[in-house]
Structure 1
Amino acid sequence: MSLAQPESVMLRAGCKINLHLEITGVRENGYHELDTLFFPLPEPYDTITIAKAPANTGLNLRCPAISIPTEKNIIYKSWEKYAAATGWRPDLNVAVEKGIPDGAGLGGGSSDAAVMLNYLNKYSPNKLTPESLNTLAVTIGADVPFFLNNVPAHATGIGDILSPSNISLAGYSLVLICPEISISTPWAFDAWDKTILGNNADNNPKEILTSTTSKDRKHSSRALWLFNSFEVVVYSAFPKLRAYKEKLMSFGAEGAVMSGSGSSIFALYREMEQAKRAATALQAEGVATYLHHL
């Protein structure tokens, strides 16, 4: 039995960081194999208001921060694909207030898609099983399945093969910064291909990517190994981001690393006072900064 659909509901779509992100291979179709550890954060977040709409009006989407046709928006795609899978096509008015910056590596679009899918499946008369919903989510975006459950998860494949992670950052303070630099994920992958694979054209990509250039590449403490394969190309193109990372480290961080394909960077501190000083310093430079005590 389905729940009664509310007239209107306001939902939050949180973000994610990648505690580590390693590109481990390239498929024949050009997709990249990843080994990454997703960790959810409640802020920054997008606010999504979903309300019933008049019959036969379909999905009316308002998202002033993103100037693309409605049918290309990931929320619309989620609604459309859910309808195709279940036959339930509710008429809705959806308004999105963006708090997660675009091109920051925080998964804002995927998070929005997951919120829409969870909403639809909660009130649908034709609910999908968790497994079927996950399968549908993969067709929308590789990160979407993670956001359906929004708990720490280890991911492989193209980021879509998830397994639960018991990683705990309890006691740490985390500073997340979102510089006003937008980085396209396709650009980052292309730059990585040209830089890493291009410099090793005579080698097999798998051999390149599993070489022992890093002694702790398969270390038993890998879960806490802060690493991001994209940093080598992103910092070359955007040196200001490297400077921000170094500044975060200068306040005594245990580690700092870029999330996703950038441009956001986070740092972990054992002492809240260290984190507060780092956050204050970056805010003084006009950088959007979020402080979390985990």
Structure 2
Amino acid sequence: MTDSASLPQDTQSATRPALPVRLKAGCKINLYLRITGVRENGYHELDTLFYPLSEPSDTLDIEEGAAGSGLTLVCERADLCTERNTLHKAWRVFAETTGFRPDLRLTLTKGVPDGAGLGGGSADAAAFLNFLNASAGKVALNDEELNEVAARIGADVPFFLKNVPARATGIGEILVPCEVDLSGFTLLLACPPEHVSTPWAFKAWDDRYANKMDIDATERLTLSAHMFTRPSSRALWLFNSFESVVFAAFPKLRAYKGSLIRHGAAAVVMSGSGASLFALYREMEKAMQASESLMREGVKTFIHHL
């Protein structure tokens, strides 16, 4: 079985991935996340910095499906085997765009927790889109076209196509790759058992702050800079607009953040709409101690040496 985290980007090549194939889809954190406004259609304008992580990760095992079956999705979690899953949506949108409709059986093994703000479903969709495009031969899409397809599936999906640090604006679909140097730090990712719904988090933010966004664009950016750059970490450029509303509803998350800071973190920030938090440590030993402390409280942790 082929084991590949990313597939060739030369989609016009005659070489196609041999089946069965195994894909690994990682996750992301938001080094900062600012909500800058709300559109008339209800979508939120964002300014965020995506940073990819290899773990935790999901695994996608792809093999040939029965003739005429389209996509068959298998997962030990029945709630994920529905037409609403991003993998089904990726297959449908790619088929509608290119006419390429392979019969595939896809087994999804989850490692990225739900409701953690890590983009696991988006990462899965992007890995699958790259696979489909690498398999599509003459109807394969160029980078711009594939990015447009990805954006139709979800706002975070285009980021995972390239999987490099990138600043995202708009509703998250306008991406500019950027260099982020965190070398020398140890990153601790904490994934508490709490589950935070992204739609709930946006509504909670709207209920508390949206009326303050009824101003022109220049004032809005100024307001957001003052409202959401409170010292939520020891590095003021690392922050998250969601923290105030999420921590109010999930006080344990605030407590976990406090624990990470007490263990000597240089910065601690919630990722996405939560519930995961990441901490940057200058000393690996302190990160390990913090990890052990949280694991004793039932919190899963992942250590990345950057």
TM-score (ref. length: structure 1): 0.93
Q: How does 1:252-271 map to 2 (within 5 A)?
A: 252-271=264-283
Gaps of 5+ in 2: 1-12, 230-234
Whether 2:98 is the aligned partner of 1:86: answer yes
1:162: Cα distance to partner?
0.3
1:29: Cα distance to partner?
0.8
Whether 2:108 is the aligned partner of 1:121: answer no
1:140: Cα distance to partner?
0.3
Give the Cα–Cα distance (whole angstroms) in 2 for the partners of residues 92 and 260 of structure 1.
Answer: 32
Counterpart of 2:284?
272
Given that 1:172 and 1:293 are in contact with CA atoms closer than 8 Å, whether structure 2 keeps it comes out as yes
- What amino acid does structure 2 have at the position aligned with 1:137? A
Q: What secondary structure sits across from 1:99 in the alignment?
A: coil
Whether 2:69 is the aligned partner of 1:45: answer no
Counterpart of 2:114?
102
Q: How does 1:220-235 map to 2 (within 5 A)?
A: 225-235=237-247
1:58: Cα distance to partner?
1.1
Aligned length: 287
TM-score (ref. length: structure 2): 0.89
Counterpart of 2:199?
186
Q: What secondary structure sits across from 2:223 in the alignment?
A: coil
1:73: Cα distance to partner?
1.0
Counterpart of 1:220?
none
1:224: Cα distance to partner?
7.5
Aligned with residue 76 of structure 2, among 51, 57, 64? 64
Counterpart of 2:179?
166
Q: What secondary structure sits across from 1:214 in the alignment?
A: helix
Deviation track 1:59-78 (CA, whole Å, cap 9, x = no partner) reads: 11012225155211110110
Give the Cα–Cα distance (whole angstroms) in 2 for the partners of residues 232 and 15 of structure 1.
Answer: 24
Whether 2:215 is the aligned partner of 1:204: answer yes
CA-based RMSD: 1.9
Give the Cα–Cα distance (whole angstroms) in 1 for the partners of residues 270 and 247 of structure 2.
Answer: 10
1:85: Cα distance to partner?
0.7
Percent of matched pairs sharing the same residue: 56
Given that 1:251 and 1:277 are in contact with CA atoms closer than 8 Å, whether structure 2 keeps it comes out as yes
Whether 2:304 is the aligned partner of 1:292: answer yes
Given that 1:24 and 1:210 are in contact with CA atoms closer than 8 Å, whether structure 2 keeps it comes out as no
Gaps of 5+ in 1: 218-222
Whether 2:189 is the aligned partner of 1:176: answer yes
Counterpart of 2:6?
none
